[in-house]
Amino acid sequence: MGATLKAFVILSVMLWGICGCFGHGGYLYPQFYDKSCPKAPEIVKSVVAKAVAREARMAASLLRLHFHDCFVKGCDASLLLDSSGSIISEKRSNANRNSARGFEVIDEIKSALEKECPLTVSCADILALAARDSTVLAGGPHWEVPLGRRDSRGASLSGSNRNIPAPNSTIQTLITKFKLQGLDTVDLVALSGSHTIGQSRCTSFRQRLYNQTGNGRPDLTLDQGYAAQLRTRCPRSGGDSNLFPLDFVSPTVFDNWYFKNIVASKGLLNSDQVLFTRSEKTMEIVELYAKNNQLFIQHFANSMVKMGNISPLTGSRGEVRKNCRRINSS
Ligand code: HEM
Ligand SMILES: *[C@@H]1O[C@H](CO)[C@@H](O)[C@H](O)[C@H]1NC(C)=O
Ligand SMILES: *[C@@H]1O[C@H](CO)[C@@H](O)[C@H](O)[C@H]1NC(C)=O
């Protein structure tokens, strides 16, 4: 080996040691805990598996937590903080109140990790791993999760209200809110495919059943037989918390039935159906995924990694919380 080449190799290896980021497309990389807590991914997986075995819906609830975390100040576990001192919890936001769930499972994972390797694995990384493991347990794709996120020392209730789209959003609002996070229309449609698992409350889609545009008429882009069925358990008033599967065909299986339902005018949320009815671009992607589960699965995994890369705290920014619900005292 020539001296220059040798020097270059040595320098590269040194830089790798310092930065650890070359070839990893950013600051996060899957081997982040290989030395400091090699069992971390296994521990996360086993607690998630137990929780999902207890209740199949928990896979959906955990997947959603990663989304609601990443869209507010980046993937920094800001979502997990309870109110305390100057912190106003994001759990109170419109999207999360009476809706976001699975926090006890995250606590259980964190306490298992604190026993194995104290103050090492961030709550933000736990959310990313739990989202992947939940997807796999529901029958969806596996992907390598880039790691090395750190936890915020603050929350943003206003950010949660501003950034996470409402279920009655227009297609333009959905596209814009994803674009603000660096996510394109393929990401929007692929990630909306998460609604192939999990449940929605009546209150999240009632407007479509009775008074879609304020003229006292239902949403006509919704199959009217399906709408009539939904009305039996989602009345004009009352029953706000009654639950309905987001994918009525296979509510606990991660497949492309969500997209087939949308094509059949049986998307539950307005934000689901408009992907097919209000934009040619997203409509074409919905049709592709409805026909090709493999393509959906691939795009979904890819978009999850992209979403998981939204503004992470790395290096010495933020901290690794001891308890996901509160910042460290120092
Ligand atoms: C495109 C914009 C989106 C909107 C407007 C939206 C809205 C909603 C709403 C209203 C619910 C039902 C909540 C309730 O009634 O309690 C829900 C559930 C859910 N969402 Fe989304 N969502 C969107 C995107 C996403 C993304 C990107 C993911 C994940 C990557 C996701 C994952 C889920 C899951 C898994 C559930 C079921 C949760 C459970 O059963 O506990 N959603 N979403
Ligand atoms: C969506 O629902 C909210 C709350 O119910 C309401 O204030 C808002 O006007 C609705 N937006 C649209 C576009 O219908
Ligand atoms: C529908 O909504 C509009 C405006 O939101 C309201 O003025 C009207 O009274 C509602 N109609 C019915 C039948 O609920």
84-116: pLDDT as tens digits = 999 999 999 999 999 999 999 999 999 999 999
pLDDT for res 106: 99
| % of the chain at pLDDT higher than 70 | 92
Closest CA to 71 of 161, 193, 201, 190: 161
Model pTM score: 0.94
Residue 125 lies in a domain: yes
| Statement to judge: residues 141 and 37 lie in one domain | yes
Residue nearest to atom 32 of ligand 1 (CA): 64
Residue 320 lies in a domain: no
Q: How far is the CA of 196 from the centre of ligand 1 (A)?
A: 10
Q: Which one of 209, 211, 212, 237 would you pick to mutate in the ligand 3 pocket, going by the greatest count of ligand atoms within 8 A of its CB? A: 211
In whole angstroms, give the CA distance from residue 152 to residue 172.
30
Closest CA to 113 of 46, 29, 66: 46
**Confidence bin at 14 (pLDDT 50/70/90):** very low
Q: Which one of 67, 70, 104, 145 would you pick to mutate in the ligand 1 pocket, going by the greatest count of ligand atoms within 8 A of its CB? A: 67
Show which residues are catalytic. 68
Residue 105 has phi, psi (to 5 degrees) of -70, -40
Ligand 2 nearest-atom number relative to CA 212:
14
CATH number of the CATH domain containing 180: 1.10.420.10
| Statement to judge: residues 175 and 303 lie in one domain | yes
Residue 6, pLDDT > 60, answer no
Residue 2, pLDDT > 90, answer no
| Statement to judge: residues 175 and 157 lie in one domain | no
Interval 224-231 mean pLDDT: 98
| Statement to judge: residues 120 and 180 lie in one domain | no
Can you give the residue range of the structural domain that contains 143? Answer: 29-163
Question: Domain count of the chain?
Answer: 2
Residue 256, pLDDT > 90, answer yes
In whole angstroms, give the CA distance from residue 128 to residue 67.
9
| Statement to judge: residues 182 and 302 lie in one domain | yes
| Statement to judge: residues 239 and 288 lie in one domain | yes
Residue 3, pLDDT > 70, answer no
| Statement to judge: residues 288 and 190 lie in one domain | yes
Closest CA to 60 of 153, 152, 156, 135: 135
| Statement to judge: residues 33 and 90 lie in one domain | yes
Residue 18, pLDDT > 90, answer no
Residue entry with tokens 């999902």: 52
- Dihedral of CA atoms 214, 93, 193, 48 in degrees, nearest 10, equals -150
Ligand 2 nearest-atom number relative to CA 166:
1
In whole angstroms, give the CA distance from residue 39 to residue 104.
21
